[in-house]
Structure 1
Amino acid sequence: MDSSSEASSMAQGLRIVRLVADREKWGRRLLGVSQLASELDMEQSRVSRLTQELCDLGLLERVERGPFRTGPRFFDLAASLNTGWVRESRTELEALVATLSLRSRVSVREAFRVILLRASSNDALPGGFVKPGMVTPIWCTGSGRALLWDHEQVAIQDLLKDVNFIGVGGPGAAHSALEVCELMDRDRARGFTLAAEEFEHGVYELALPIRNREGTILASLSVLGNRSEIEPRAGKIAKVLTESADRLGSRDHRRGDSTGGAGLAS
């Protein structure tokens, strides 16, 4: 299986786990294979294979071919994530909302995709599509390109070599790995990532990496708004984000783990 197929399977598996967890959380009827396939618009055979793998990993469980529910490993992972800087990120995100009046997010990398780890209360609304586990492209989001901050041009081109850029993102999105590298060079020169309508029309996302004490990138911290909210005060926003990212990074005490416990980057 090539890297793009592995990434696709990972993303689809995360969608299944997220749907099962959400239905449990809100007390809704639990689903079997056919219902999951229908809800997620996926082939039933693929859902059957992925749910079996997720059960084998302990992320899901199923009793006597009944509906799926979250498994013991899911709760182990959730507990491990809700420590240190990840736990503290909730407070930091709400502080950013109070200071900047903008939506804010913490995200991590999984191959050439970005996975939302946590969003501020004004961004993650009940019933909305913005929720933990949401997957977006790494090349056309501010949060994603902040996660590529330390990548050299060759590494970026290798990471994105199998990506189909056509039809993805907003009017400002890059259409090749070389264009992504050019955007990265521009961003590094000014000290922050700014994605201007790269993923969604009308949305500007300013982001910075969160680093641990050894300098390894753990995640990205970003704020989102429209052009008038972001562009005229980009320098001030970057300063506030830098202080917030530094506080979060200083609370991570693990070594040799580039995801800060999320286990998703590769």
Structure 2
Amino acid sequence: MQEDRENDSPKTIRSVVRALSVLNVIGGDSKGISAISKELQLSKGTVFDLIKTLEFMRYVAQDPKDGSYRVGPALLKLAVRRFSENDLVEIARPYVQELADDLGEIVHLGQREGMFAAFLDRAVSRKVTRMLDLNSQVGALSPLHCTSMGKIFLTYMSDAEVLQFLDQQALQAYTEKTITDRRELQEERRRIRQRGYALNIGEFEEGVSSLAVPIRNARGEVIAGLNTAVPSVRMPKESIPGIFAKLKNAAQQIEKELGA
């Protein structure tokens, strides 16, 4: 019984235990006051007070169609935060390493850090020794407008965020191929959305190419990116579809682990 569980420890606070019990009950399916009351063996008045408090804090929400209650936006937001950088790295690492082995190249896991892209993890192939020696240490920052990882984040930022970026950051030319025109950059964002991946062909460093794909959470938001960087001679145009397919597959596996 609920009463027995509440008395298991003298340090428990009854109202907190009951409120969490309500959340546990509606965590799977939406339920009404009567169903919650019956399952927890609490009076309807007690359940009503608990529900209204949780609703006020947005931890539960009422379905306007049938009056039942379900998990609210505040609780969902906490669940999303559960996957911190460390969690993401831990979940993604085996897939990042497997991808590096499969491609025979360096693979990076990254996240947006303000107006830059940051490397969260890095894997090198255990099977091939011909990989590009990049200065891409974990924690390193790279620009958004001329790296494949950065372009992924720039593409899926809101229009308002992109305008803020353009107002605050100069589109610095790192090579002759760097995009430095605002209109051209917006067109590049459109192309990336259309094809599903971002390319950097010598735009940040001469002779170096990279390809990146997004990693999304359960709400479809881009929370990270996955890329590989290679000497441009090892990424001819005809190899791009195959590289994209492998990156996309790895990203989808990570997304499944994240509950997407």
TM-score between the two structures when normalised by the length of structure 2: 0.59
Q: Is 1:102 aligned to residue 105 of structure 2?
A: yes
Deviation at 1:146, TM superposition (A): 0.8
Q: 1:132 to 1:184 in 2, by over 3 A?
A: same
Q: 1:81 and 2:72 equivalent?
A: no
Query: Which residue of 2 is the match for residue 189 of structure 1?
Result: 194
Q: CA deviation at 1:197?
A: 0.8
CA distance in 2, matches of 1:135, 1:190: 25
Which residue number in structure 2 is paired with residue 174 of structure 1? 179
1:222 to 213, 223, 227: 227
| In structure 1, distance between residues paired with 2:222 and 2:194 | 18
Aligned position for 1:207: 212
Distance in 2, matches of 1:155 and 1:190, equals 22
Secondary structure, counterpart of 2:97 in structure 1: helix
Distance in 1, Cα, partners of 2:148 & 2:196: 13
The structure having more radius of gyration, on CA atoms, is: 2
Offset of residue 171 of structure 1: 2.5
- Give the match for residue 64 of structure 1: none
Query: Which stretches of structure 1, 4 residues or more, deviate above 6 A after TM superposition?
Result: none
What one-letter code is carried by the residue in structure 2 that aligns with 1:244? Answer: A
CA distance in 1 between counterparts of 2:142 and 2:188 reads 18
CA contact (8 A) 1:117 1:133 kept: yes
Q: How many residues align?
A: 172
Instruction: Say which SS state the counterpart of residue 82 (structure 1) adopts.
Output: helix
Matches within 5 A, 1:247-266: 247-253=253-259
Answer whether contact 1:153 1:181 (CA < 8 A) is retained.
no
Same amino acid, percent of matched pairs: 23
Corresponding residue of 1:74: none
8 Å contact kept, 1:204–1:226: yes
Following superposition, the deviation at residue 175 of structure 1 comes to: 0.8
Instruction: Report the CA distance between 1:174 and its aligned residue.
Output: 1.1
The one-character-per-residue Cα deviations of 1:196-242 (angstroms, maximum 9, x if unpaired) are: 11111111110011001221111000011123322321111111111
| Cα offset, 1:188, TM superposition | 2.4
Q: Deviations over 1:14-67 (max 9, x none)?
A: xxxxxxxxxxxxxxxxxxxxxxxxxxxxxxxxxxxxxxxxxxxxxxxxxxxxxx
Q: Which amino acid aligns with 1:171?
A: E
Q: Would the aligned equivalents of 1:116 and 1:133 in 2 still touch at CA under 8 Å?
A: yes
RMSD of aligned alpha carbons: 2.6
Distance 1:102-1:154 versus aligned 2 partners, 3 A rule? same
5+ residue gaps, structure 2, are 1-82
In structure 2, C-alpha distance between the alignment counterparts of 1:81 and 1:185, rounded to whole Å: 28
Letter matched to residue 146 of structure 1? I
Which of 1 and 2 has higher RCO (CA within 8 Å, sep 6+)? 1
Q: Classify the secondary structure of the residue corresponding to 1:243.
A: helix
SS of match in other structure, 2:248: helix
